């Protein structure tokens, strides 16, 4: 390291505090609920290489530390000339920013921080804004088939030139949004955050000198890289493979596969996503641009920082990592693939990395978390014209249990630190009445250590002509898996007017039209349990029943704990537990077991390898034809319903024949 270790520690804390102050500035001056309450934003300091050497730990979105600013910066220099003091870059285009932005509602800003005419650092921030145009209000729909449907694309441009906002850029922004005033309020909050960072960087230059500030990024990232390598050397070397599924691509009933092989050797890790499905014709694609993208590396960051909590949070943690993402796959799509709901696939990437690392570290890694983040959006007509578009709640589930610890109920920071919106604030800003918002009993997977419970949100619509959007709905079919014999969590659901004559039970939704008086109920999945449920301490089960996490019926069925008038029946419990069966390893649940019984992992690897050799325009058509041929032998309810071995064997033969022709 080029800096004294004591000075390096001081600078590390200083620059981290700068990013936290930037985030606090952004949150306190933000305009929309999604900024000032939910905190869907982040700020960071980047070095001259465009990588983040300072990032906040607990404010805003936690996982974007691996993003890179330099491609967007270079694009502006190449097309619009050198950067000058007072310039601020704006972009939201995943392809033209080379993966800095990942869907169009995320507005990213970069400001060069100058001292004596030279750039000493870059400030960065992003905000998820309310609407950037496109086919639906809030711009995000799982059914969009190309990025052109998702709203205004902003290649890297100078929003601010020498301290003044470019009027033509503002005109484009305002003209292409259903919520221009709200957007501009959040944009000005971003500029305030960058200004905060600029002032603090200038103060550090005055305290420590320009050269020290230039040396600090590399020194801090090298230190983090060393910490990461040390942790990875404690992981047993080898290759570990795991796969999981999205329920479907939102346009068909065909599940979407994600697969990874993790290779660990000498403090280095390589992630190979070969075996993942080709990019889909809907909006689940992750625009990684072939890089070790933040959406693909979060679980490794979490592993390192769990096993060494002293490791600083910066891009250096990713230096021991390399990655392979097949071009044209779900994790590295080709333009103009839609990317609006990329977070749904990113969460499943988290799950497969969790599963793969769990094969190496079974006593460290947890069972699957709930596997979903659902920003529930309400779009309602305003009396003055136009529409109000706001997020009611960013619904999540719980975290998976691990050895020695239950999962966390109703809270999962696997991909972000999003907070919930206070009910009072939601009702003040939107035409809804929240009837219930709380934990969902019996949703967490049973285990020696219980999976975290999911959530339930039930609200009444107060305005005719309103629309509800629930982007990112997942785990409605394939359950969050349990580990070491723990049971999977319960799947999620959506019901309109439950228990009334107009009841409708729905799956994934695009844009749901609702009227005043309609009651909407979202239930998110619970997380997977860990260990044999029959070994769970009976008093812990009783405590779960008393807290409302588990009902008495479930305590008896899943844990073998018999309660009479709230008291433990010791003899009946012992008898029931003595005769209960047990599981080992990963427990996926009946739906995944049924699916794998026909579409085995090895067959899916062969299929996806063959599909990626075809021209991009043919892949989804051929994939759909093959699945339709195979599924024709099975009930329409498959894999929710079991099939006979004879049916499964016939379907497997059809799949083998199709693979041979492909």
State residue 57's pLDDT score: 86
CA-CA distances (angstroms) from residue 592 to 480, 490, 641? 10, 13, 11
- The whole-number average pLDDT for the span 292-300 is 93
Say how far apart CA 374 and CA 318 lie, in whole Å: 28
Hey, how many other C-beta atoms are within 10 angstroms of the C-beta on 628? 11
State residue 442's pLDDT score: 97
pLDDT-based confidence at residue 582 (cuts at 50, 70, 90): confident
Hey, how many other C-beta atoms are within 10 angstroms of the C-beta on 338? 29
- Indicate the pairing of strand 52-54 with strand 512-514: unpaired
Sequence-separated (6 or more) residues with CB below 8 Å from residue 342: 102, 103, 283, 284, 285, 286, 287, 295
Say how far apart CA 524 and CA 444 lie, in whole Å: 10
The C-alpha torsion from 608 through 609 and 610 to 616, rounded to 10°, is: 70
Which strand (E) or helix (H) includes residue 495? strand 493-496
Q: Please check the confidence at residue 1 and state whether its pLDDT lies above 70.
A: no
Say how far apart CA 160 and CA 80 lie, in whole Å: 12
Q: Please check the confidence at residue 18 and state whether its pLDDT lies above 70.
A: yes
Mean pLDDT (the chain) is: 94
- The whole-number average pLDDT for the span 8-16 is 95
State residue 16's pLDDT score: 96
Please give the DSSP secondary-structure letter assigned to residue 470: E
State residue 135's pLDDT score: 92
CA-CA distances (angstroms) from residue 516 to 239, 280, 461, 465? 55, 36, 5, 8
% of the chain at pLDDT higher than 70: 100
Starting at the earlier edge strand, list the strands of the sheet with 88-91.
Answer: 52-54, 41-46, 118-128, 106-115, 88-91, 157-161, 164-165
- Indicate the pairing of strand 268-272 with strand 321-324: parallel
pLDDT-based confidence at residue 642 (cuts at 50, 70, 90): confident
State residue 418's pLDDT score: 77
Contact 429, 390 (CB under 8 A): yes
% of the chain at pLDDT higher than 90: 88
State residue 421's pLDDT score: 87
- The whole-number average pLDDT for the span 575-592 is 91
Nearest to 160 by CA among 88, 109, 110: 88
Angle at 311 between CA 482 and CA 400, to 5 degrees: 10
Q: Please check the confidence at residue 543 and state whether its pLDDT lies above 80.
A: yes
Sequence-separated (6 or more) residues with CB below 8 Å from residue 463: 380, 381, 431, 516
Determine if the pTM surpasses 0.85: yes
Q: Which of 360-364, 373-377, 397-401, 493-497 comes out lowest in average pLDDT?
A: 373-377
pLDDT-based confidence at residue 510 (cuts at 50, 70, 90): confident
Render pLDDT for 430-479 as a digit per residue (tens, 0 to 9).
Answer: 999 999 999 999 999 999 999 999 999 999 999 999 999 988 899 999 99
State residue 99's pLDDT score: 95
Q: Please check the confidence at residue 29 and state whether its pLDDT lies above 80.
A: yes
Render pLDDT for 548-578 as a digit per residue (tens, 0 to 9).
Answer: 999 999 999 999 999 999 899 999 999 999 9
State residue 181's pLDDT score: 94
Say how far apart CA 471 and CA 142 lie, in whole Å: 7
State residue 391's pLDDT score: 87
């Amino acid at each position: 390291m080029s800096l004294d270790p004591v000075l390096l520690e001081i600078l590390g804390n200083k620059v981290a505090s700068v990013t936290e102050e930037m985030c606090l500035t952004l949150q306190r001056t933000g305009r929309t609920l999604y900024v000032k309450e939910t905190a869907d934003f982040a700020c960071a300091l980047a070095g001259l290489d465009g990588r983040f050497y300072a990032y906040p730990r607990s404010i805003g979105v936690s996982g974007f530390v691996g993003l890179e600013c330099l491609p967007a910066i270079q694009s502006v220099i190449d097309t619009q000339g050198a950067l000058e003091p007072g310039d601020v870059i704006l972009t939201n285009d995943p392809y033209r920013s080379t993966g800095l932005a990942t869907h169009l509602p995320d507005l990213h800003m970069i400001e060069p921080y100058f001292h004596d005419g030279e750039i000493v650092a870059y400030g960065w921030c992003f905000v998820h804004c309310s609407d950037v145009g496109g086919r639906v209000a809030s711009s995000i729909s799982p059914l969009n088939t190309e990025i052109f449907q998702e709203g205004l694309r902003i290649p890297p441009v100078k929003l601010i030139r020498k301290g003044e906002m470019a009027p033509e850029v503002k005109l484009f922004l305002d003209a292409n949004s259903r919520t221009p005033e709200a957007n501009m309020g959040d944009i000005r909050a971003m500029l305030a955050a960058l200004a905060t960072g600029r002032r603090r960087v200038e103060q550090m230059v005055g305290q420590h000198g320009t050269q020290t500030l230039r040396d600090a990024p590399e020194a801090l990232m090298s230190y983090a890289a060393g910490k990461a390598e040390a942790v990875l050397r404690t992981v047993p070397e080898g290759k570990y493979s795991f796969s999981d599924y999205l329920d479907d691509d939102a346009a068909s009933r065909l599940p979407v596969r994600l697969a990874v092989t993790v290779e660990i050797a000498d403090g280095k890790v390589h992630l190979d996503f070969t075996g993942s499905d080709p990019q889909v014709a809907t909006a689940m694609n992750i625009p990684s641009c072939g890089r070790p993208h933040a959406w693909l590396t979060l679980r490794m960051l979490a592993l390192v920082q769990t096993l060494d909590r002293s490791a600083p949070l910066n891009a250096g943690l990713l230096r021991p990592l390399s990655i392979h993402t097949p071009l044209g796959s779900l994790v590295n799509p080709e333009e103009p693939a839609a990317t609006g709901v990329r977070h749904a696939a990113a969460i499943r990437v988290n799950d497969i990395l969790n599963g793969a690392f769990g094969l190496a570290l079974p006593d460290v890694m947890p069972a699957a978390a709930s596997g979903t983040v659902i920003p529930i959006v309400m779009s309602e007509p305003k009396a003055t014209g136009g529409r109000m578009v706001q997020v009611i709640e960013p619904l999540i589930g719980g975290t998976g249990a691990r050895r020695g610890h239950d999962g966390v109920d109703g809270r999962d920071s696997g991909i972000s630190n999003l907070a919930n919106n206070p009910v009072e604030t939601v009702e003040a800003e939107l035409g809804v009445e929240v009837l219930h918002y709380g934990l969902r009993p019996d949703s967490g997977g049973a285990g020696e250590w219980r999976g975290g419970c999911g959530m339930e949100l039930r609200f009444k619509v107060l305005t005719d002509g309103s629309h509800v959007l629930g982007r990112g709905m997942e785990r409605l079919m394939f359950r969050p898996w349990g580990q070491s014999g723990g049971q999977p969590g319960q799947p999620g659901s959506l019901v309109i007017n439950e228990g009334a004559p107009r009841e409708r039970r729905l799956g994934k939704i695009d844009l749901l039209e609702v009227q005043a008086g309609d009651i909407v109920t979202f239930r998110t999945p619970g997380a997977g349990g860990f260990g044999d449920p029959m070994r769970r301490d009976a008093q812990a089960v009783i405590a779960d029943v008393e807290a409302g996490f588990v009902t008495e019926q479930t305590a008896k069925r899943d844990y073998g704990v018999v309660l009479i008038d709230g008291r433990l029946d010791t003899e009946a419990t012992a008898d029931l537990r003595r005769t209960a069966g047990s599981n080992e390893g990963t427990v996926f649940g009946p739906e995944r077991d049924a699916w794998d019984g026909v579409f085995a992992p090895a067959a899916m690897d062969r299929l996806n390898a063959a599909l990626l050799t075809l021209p991009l325009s043919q892949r989804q058509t051929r994939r759909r034809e093959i699945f339709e041929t195979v599924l024709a032998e099975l009930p329409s309810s498959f894999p929710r319903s079991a099939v006979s071995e004879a049916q499964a064997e016939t379907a497997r033969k059809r799949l083998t024949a199709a693979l041979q022709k492909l």
